[in-house]
Amino acid sequence: MPKLDRYLLRDFVQSFLATLIVLLTVSLGGVLVDVLGEVADGGIPARLLLSQLGLQLLVYLPLVLPLALMLGLMLAVARLYRDSEMAVLNAVGVGPRRLLRPLLLAVLPVVAVVGACSLWLGPWADRAAVRMVEQANRSLIVAGMEPGRFTTLPGGGIVYIDGMSEDGTTLQGIFTQRERDGRVDVSTARTGTLELAGEHERYLQLRDGHRVEGPLDGGLDFRLMRYAINELALPDRAEPPDEDAPALLPTTDLFGNGRPEAAAELHRRLAPPLLALGFALLTVPMARSAPRQQRYGRLLLGFLAYLVGVNLMFIGVRMLADGRLPAAAGLWWLTLPLLALAAWLYLRDGRLPRRRRGAVA
């Protein structure tokens, strides 16, 4: 590989990685807020926080990587113009077109990763997240109840357990205490299990125990009863998505699926790698600047162009899902013109006059 290509490739990769770290940090904060909201609502068990965070971050990578690639390359190319390195290269007959080889060496692996995340890893992460939550809703261990530990119940109250089966589905030696309507309710049971009712309701079923109920203000109106089965409500689990939902289907199952939602999901997965390639080719003409000219204005312009492209993608996906756009049109009306425009701008950017003898190729 020529020294010039190695130098430019190293510069492109370093700038991309630095930008990616910053964007991943910001994205991680947003994803963490969403997951914490689900945990607070009781839709996701608290012990699945880190696993759900990692899976959701994998889902967002097809949107983060193209932006990091675009901004990183624009920073690198703008630095070449700012430090007059491009002026020196142009003086010896090396124009912006000569940057295509190192540019593609940096861009194509990232585009491949975007395609892998969008077409395979992202859908797999969605399916894995749903399966983990479903299994957690059937497991008392992940639900937060452990032997020797007090656990808060929804609506107030606590629960304490003595033992638990290895699979986390059966409890032994249960004590619960709740307060409502000015009365205290204390229950004990030998065993208990986690039961599911309806689509997303769950409760703790206590068996073979005693219940004491009385006033909180010190009165004598107490009642003692023995029960065979007693049920306590637990936080409602998140409503499980449909197993045939296009967002959870593998990409291969979306081909030939006649539903508009499936066509919309298929094109939503095909668009990110094409957008990443198009925006990467736009970086060289968009980053052109005079020496000592500020480069952050062009970065803002590139960021706005990316936002417009992504918003158009989501609008197109919604129109496909609603049937307002034919499936054959897909998102080709967005990706193909963008690629054509990027290629045209790149080829015409900075055309050099015919090189003289002795010019460096």
Is residue 289 classed as helix, strand or coil in its secondary structure? coil
pLDDT tens per residue across all 361 residues of the chain: 678 888 889 999 999 999 999 999 988 888 888 888 877 665 677 778 888 888 888 999 999 999 999 999 999 888 888 877 777 877 777 777 778 888 899 999 999 999 999 999 999 998 888 888 777 766 555 556 667 777 776 556 788 888 887 776 788 888 888 887 788 888 899 988 877 666 556 677 889 999 888 888 777 788 888 989 888 776 555 555 666 788 888 888 888 887 889 899 999 999 999 999 999 999 888 887 766 666 677 888 889 999 999 999 999 999 999 889 888 888 999 999 999 999 888 887 755 445 554 444 4
Q: Using N-to-C axis directions, what is the helix angle for 3-40 and 49-82, rounded to 10°?
A: 150
Query: How far lies 122's CA from each of 89, 103, 126, in Å?
Result: 42, 26, 6
CA distances, 293 to each of 27, 46, 305, 360 (Å): 30, 50, 21, 27
Cβ(73)–Cβ(280) under 8 Å? yes
| Overall size of the chain counted in residues | 361
Q: What is the dihedral of CA 9, 10, 11, 17, to 10 degrees?
A: 110
Which spans in the chain are helix H? 3-40, 49-82, 85-91, 100-116, 122-137, 251-254, 260-286, 296-321, 332-348
Q: Are 185 and 178 in contact (CB under 8 A)?
A: yes
Structural domain spans, the chain? 3-136+242-348, 150-233
The CA distance from 113 to 83, in Å, is 32
The answer, as to whether pTM is greater than 0.75, is no
